[in-house]
Structure 1
Amino acid sequence: MIDLKRLQNAVMTSDKQAMIAIAEAYRPIDLAESLEKLNHDGQNKLIQSLPSALSAEILEFVEPLLLYRILDHLEVDLTARVLNEMSSDVVVDMMLAIHRYQAEKLLNLLPADYRERVQTLMTFPEETAGSLATIDYIAAPGTWTIDTTLAHIRKVGREAEITAYIYVTGMKGELQGVVSLKKIILAEPHTQLRDIADEPISVPALMEQEEAADLLSRYDWVALPVVDMQNRLIGAITVDDLIDVIQEEATEDIQMLGGSQPLEDVYFKTSIFHLYRKRIIWLLILFVAEAYTGTVLRHYEDTLSDAISLAFFIPLLIGTGGNTGTQTVSTLVRALAVGEVHFRDIFRVIRKELMTALMTGVTIATVAFARAWMLGVELNVGFVVGITALMIVIWASLVAAILPLILHKLKADPAVISGPFITTLVDGTGLIIYFSIAKILLNL
């Protein structure tokens, strides 16, 4: 952990050597967190005092708007050096977050070729593979020998973010193969790249980030090439960027499963009013939906008055249905997210969940009947409670198994079928099941 007071003192006294010593002793991500805690003057002093390469490493972990503010207050030459040292995907994120006139001003500080490639990445929509791609990779023609390739790696490797793979390209920049650095090191000097290249597995630039993350995870790679519609290599996505995507998607799913809209920022940077806005919509929807439970109770008012003991078990039964549905939907949403289950598996899922529900339902029905017997209600009421518990468990499992799969097929986020939503849905329908069984078995 960085000694923030020591860093602040070094900045306040403009002790350049102390600032460099502190920066070299810690990891860039930790320095970025400390940088955010300094005031504006302190941030500028620290970045100006460090070598441009080290400043670039630190600033890669800073939020885009703060990154722009710092760069905008540096001398033009230093801004240009830092920009050219930074990963292209970080530069693209910042350019897209600021006003286009501000972006043009910074883009003009980049070399023409680099600027053109950055502008290409800026054209891809958010949450696509193209928007995550970096152009800091190493490519080489398939006709190059190992000796020539190694000389090229030594020349450009320091500027590349991805050195684990060398991408083999054709005359028009089309992706023809991929070679790991390990293969290159172990190959004979006069071997041509195309002779040891593997068949590339790439992703189109417009593929969703989540799909790209699943693909990278499946093959255990550290980078994934991104191509355009003509199969020309336009960049590569690194594993660290896709880990961020996986974390964001998992966080979003967890928040939606809790019955809340996902937050755009971290918890402590989210205002109270923003939390209110994210939660109140779902709460109001669930509140209105829950109101139909009262309508069901009113409809069966005569049944309740004839057998008042039925009311004792309403919280128990609807709670059991909600819990069952939440368990099922949570399991399936996660299975869908990691690609274990697809819509084509719907009948397998239904069969599996129904068998599980039958087993759990019989167990819960037995306990529910025992509970009714312990309360001293009539035996036939106990049978109603037990049978209803079984039916509600089966019904809740069926609904919670089908809805996420249908939503996934419709390209909607299955996490919207959250625990609270399933609970609310099962509450009302569970009461209908309960009173319908009671009317049949008790002759009410």
Structure 2
Amino acid sequence: MGSFRVDFTLCFLLSVVLSKGLPSALASKEAWNYVEVRDGAHMFWWLYYADSVQAQYKDLPLVMWLQGGPGGSGTGFGNFEEIGPLNRDLEPRKTSWVQAANLLFVDNPVGTGFSYTDRPDAYATNVSTVASDMLVLLKHFFSEKPEFQSIAFYIFSESYGGKMAAAISLELTKAIAQGTVKCNFSGVALGDSWISPLDSVMTWGPYLYTTSLLDDYGLADVSKAAEAVKQAVEQGQFLKATELWSVTESAVERNTNGVNFYNILTQSSDEKLTSSAGLDFISLQKHRHIRPLHSQSLSQLMNGPIRKKLGIIPENVTWGGQADEVFTNMAGDFMKPVVDIVDQLLTAGVKVTVYNGQLDLIVDTMGQELWVKQLKWEGIRNFNELKWTPLDDPATPGITGAFCKTYKNFAFYWILKAGHMIPSDQGPMALQMLKMITQQA
């Protein structure tokens, strides 16, 4: 396990980033460390203390952010591209969540980002192992940082991170009841989350067709590919279903001339489509989904100045270097749903929030609404009967930025003009949603 470190953002920026001056308001306290969650499996976390002019950090919640993939790095992408205090150019982010919360980024599963394994058999192969690994990390974290034990703790997630967040939340709830983890767990937020993969895949065709991105021929082609995924899932052939999921993505790409899975108003480049030809489904997954989270400029930042700043990254570990292995080992679990886990969380009284971007394709809102309506939680009928409430966009008052609906411990936010990465696409609205979920607004 690496030694415990505390630093200050301003010191780093002055000493490492070649005289790039920044205002003193960014001099917020940070901490980071490694935890060996299993023999040969090392997980990295990075904490930013809240930096608010209205409140002390102890008066604001702690938010753990989990990235997707699996294999996407929260300490990299979520931090520097979405919600951290600085962007990838190390400039202050106006909509950073540190204004309203303490932020804990974790690179999980092991092998993601700066997390690493010592041997091939140490990777996680399912969300159960992902959850048990995270429980070890959280136990260490709250022991090392006891000041956070009483602070409201929320898990926020994106994409496959939502599937992991659901499983982690259930195990954390049990651990708290058993007294093995001391924290004030207050809720989980599932953003554009891979909770019911089949519902997402089966709605790709209809969603693209109704938005004029598929013609009749294209709809038939995509629907045929999606049906093959459905058959594999129904037969319990989940590794085959993952392979056929990739085939369905290829059908989408060729019939839409490369629509971007993360935002339907944008398009993948011809170079990307051409260079993906002939790749196996694991390589295709990295090409379509992991590579955007590990762009060249972000990799240079993480493996250069950030690595130097942190000072505890082993010499043989490259940020994002094990991403392929992470997905490969999780491929058999990838298409399995966790709707039942969400049901268990709601029944246990855990505050659950679903939020989704209007323009997302990979986890389209149509698919999210399907699995939500299938919940067995006793409050789902009352929830479905409610009308949603429009929310003003904080950046443009008077213009609707989202809709929301809440019943007891369940809430759904429909974020307008946003794709898969909501904080990147609609930063002010995402920050407002965070405050509403954590009851600051």
Q: TM-score, normalised by structure 1?
A: 0.22
* Higher helix fraction (1 or 2): 1
Which structure would you say has the larger RCO, counting Cα contacts within 8 Å and 6 or more residues apart? 2
Q: TM-score, normalised by structure 2?
A: 0.22
